[in-house]
A and B are shown apart, each in its own frame.
Chain A
Amino acid sequence: MKVSVTVNGAPQEHEVEPRTLLVYYIRDVVGLTGTNIGCDTSSCGACTLLVDGESVKSCTMLAVQADGAEITTIEGLAPSESEMHPMQEAFREKHALQCGYCTPGMVMAAVSLLQEHPNPTEAEVREGLEGNLCRCTGYHNIVQAVLHAASAGSVPA
């Protein structure tokens, strides 16, 4: 089955099996491995990316369901090689990662969260990230980073 999508602004077209999950398509076919696979059961959020601007767990979507969509992965956030996205900058500034495995998914979920709630309270950030698990339990600094990005006026992805 043919799938045509835009990934980080670049058109992609591939023949895939219908059962191919979006995250495997992105990692193995498109070749962008920044999106991690964690639990593979739509619990942990490590595979979060944006489909038409909204956060989605890419282990729970078929690549064929994304046909025609615009997909943004962690690799597509930064405006240039030398510049980070404000959410990435905020994660660095607030030391919002330890092992880093959850980070791509956390950043993508956080970008989507700020699009829906541009000025969230701390409680709204915590609830808004309920779909993303950090096994280092580094939530405190992650929440601080999202609040920091919000106060700095994050740009949309």
Chain B
Amino acid sequence: MIPAAFDYRRAANLDEALSLLSDGGEDAKLIAGGHSLLPLMKLRLAAPSMLIDIGRLRDLSFVRDGGDHVAVGALTRHRDVEIDETLRAHAPLLSHVAGQVGDPQVRHRGTIGGSIAHGDPASDLPAACLALGASFKAVGPSGERTIEATDFFEGFLETALSPDEILTEIIIPKATGAGWSFQKFNRRAQDWAIVGVAAVRGERTGISLVNMGPTPLRATATEAALAGGATDAEAAARAAEGLDPPSDLNATPEYRVHLAQVLVRRALEEAGAA
């Protein structure tokens, strides 16, 4: 399978990427590792007129200890997130989840920023960012802004990024010593989750869901129940409240609701035991 033809430009720095993006028009797309975009292009579900390759903006591949948070550059590959010692110490959920994305070959190419900006409800890293209370830095022609993860995912493969903005940095509040869990239910090792759950329990509690709606989601009813003193089992029973999970070859909505309740209970127990 070959993608439709496109113009290819390689950006040498962030400024050049921004100007290529504003010149390229609405059909221009950024490519980093390409592990979300290229499969769509090969299936001709996406046919951008121009690809702007930001894969060489090495300045955007980093993990920095920012005191009360850890800053992760958008171009940091899943493999580098997985093995980073700072993240393992202060946000172990994120490094663990990065190690669960796809398979080793995918993790050698895919980037955290690409996964977030793609906004796929079936992806693992957006859910981890929601559970951790992350925020995202984006740069556009009018400067830089910070978007909370909870405000970022707007619809199926739609995010709060405007077409001329570039996601540059993921800011993860430190969750040092907090309990955490990631539950990923799939049939084949390398598949997307049929349903997934990311949980953090500590000074801040965050529970989020993979593949339970059109966007990566927080399990708000479960979070509210926990805040109100409910038991883990009571809170888990409310995991799918108000949600409209998708139907596909792997699962019906009813099955997903059941999975979410079971997996949230397991996640709460594992995170609570820490």
> Hey, which bits of chain A sit against chain B, CB under 8 A?
1, 17-21, 24, 40-43, 45, 48, 51, 54-57, 59-62, 64-65, 67, 109, 112-113, 116, 127-128, 130-132
Interchain CB contact (< 8 A) of A64 among B2, B8, B190:
B8
Set of chain A residues within 8 Å of B2, measured between Cβ atoms: 19-21, 24
| Bound form: Cα–Cα A43–B42 in Å | 13
Set of chain A residues within 8 Å of B189, measured between Cβ atoms: 127, 130
7 A–B contacts from the bound complex (CB under 8 Å): A18-B7, A20-B2, A24-B2, A60-B39, A116-B104, A131-B106, A132-B103
Closest 8 CB pairs of A and B: A131-B103, A18-B8, A130-B189, A54-B108, A57-B105, A19-B3, A131-B105, A130-B103
> By the criterion CB–CB under 8 Å, are B8 and A42 in contact?
no
> By the criterion CB–CB under 8 Å, are A62 and B1 in contact?
no
| Bound form: Cα–Cα A70–B261 in Å | 47
Residue with the greatest number of chain B CB neighbours at <10 A, chosen from A18, A51, A67: A18
| Bound form: Cα–Cα A131–B2 in Å | 21
Chain B nearest Cβ from A109, distance in angstroms: 7
A130 closest partner in B (C-beta): B189
CB of B213 closer than 8 Å to a CB of A = no
> Hey, which bits of chain B sit against chain A, CB under 8 A?
1-8, 10, 31, 34-35, 38-39, 42, 51, 53, 55, 79, 102-106, 108-109, 189-190
> By the criterion CB–CB under 8 Å, are A131 and B190 in contact?
yes
Residue with the greatest number of chain B CB neighbours at <10 A, chosen from A57, A128, A132: A57
Set of chain A residues within 8 Å of B42, measured between Cβ atoms: 21, 40-41, 59
Set of chain A residues within 8 Å of B55, measured between Cβ atoms: 65
> By the criterion CB–CB under 8 Å, are A62 and B38 in contact?
yes
The number of residue pairs between A and B whose CB atoms lie closer than 8 Å in the complex comes to 83
> By the criterion CB–CB under 8 Å, are A40 and B1 in contact?
yes
Set of chain A residues within 8 Å of B3, measured between Cβ atoms: 19
| Bound form: Cα–Cα A61–B8 in Å | 13
| Bound form: Cα–Cα A62–B38 in Å | 9
Query: Given A18-B6, A19-B2, A65-B55, A131 and B104 touching (CB < 8 A)?
Result: yes
Set of chain B residues within 8 Å of A18, measured between Cβ atoms: 5-8, 51
A18 closest partner in B (C-beta): B8
Set of chain B residues within 8 Å of A41, measured between Cβ atoms: 1, 39, 42
Chain A nearest Cβ from B197, distance in angstroms: 20
| Bound form: Cα–Cα A48–B104 in Å | 11
> By the criterion CB–CB under 8 Å, are B8 and A1 in contact?
yes
Set of chain B residues within 8 Å of A57, measured between Cβ atoms: 105-106, 109
> By the criterion CB–CB under 8 Å, are B35 and A42 in contact?
yes
Query: Given A41-B39, A54-B108, A62 and B34 touching (CB < 8 A)?
Result: yes
